[in-house]
Amino acid sequence: MLLKSSPEEVKKLIETYEKDVSGIKRSALSLSWHMRGGASYEDVLNMSSEEREHINSLIEEHIDITKKSQLPYF
């Protein structure tokens, strides 16, 4: 299919991939920051997307709990 694509279509596909990669990198940086040394940036990048989603969900839950309890979040 890619071989039959026009240069414009290939360019759009590459741009989409670049946006996806940028989003993954940003998410990995955020998750590694929240993990406070429990997982490095490289560790997070080596995780499956499902594992990253689960960790992100746990982080969001803990942030909500922290907000409700009014305890400091570092």
Residue range 27-68, pLDDT digits in tens: 999 999 999 889 999 999 999 999 999 999 999 998 999 999
- Classify residue 51: in a domain, yes or no: yes
Q: What is the pTM for the complete model shown?
A: 0.75
Q: Domain tally for the chain?
A: 1
Q: Cβ neighbours of residue 24 under 8 Å, at least 6 residues apart?
A: 45
Q: Cβ neighbours of residue 13 under 8 Å, at least 6 residues apart?
A: 2, 5
Q: Cα separation of 67 and 41, whole Å?
A: 26
- Classify residue 47: in a domain, yes or no: yes
Report the SS3 class of residue 48.
Answer: coil
The string of pLDDT tens digits covering residues 11-26 is: 999 999 999 999 999 9
CA distances from 18 to 10, 12, 23, 55 (A): 12, 10, 9, 24
- Classify residue 54: in a domain, yes or no: yes
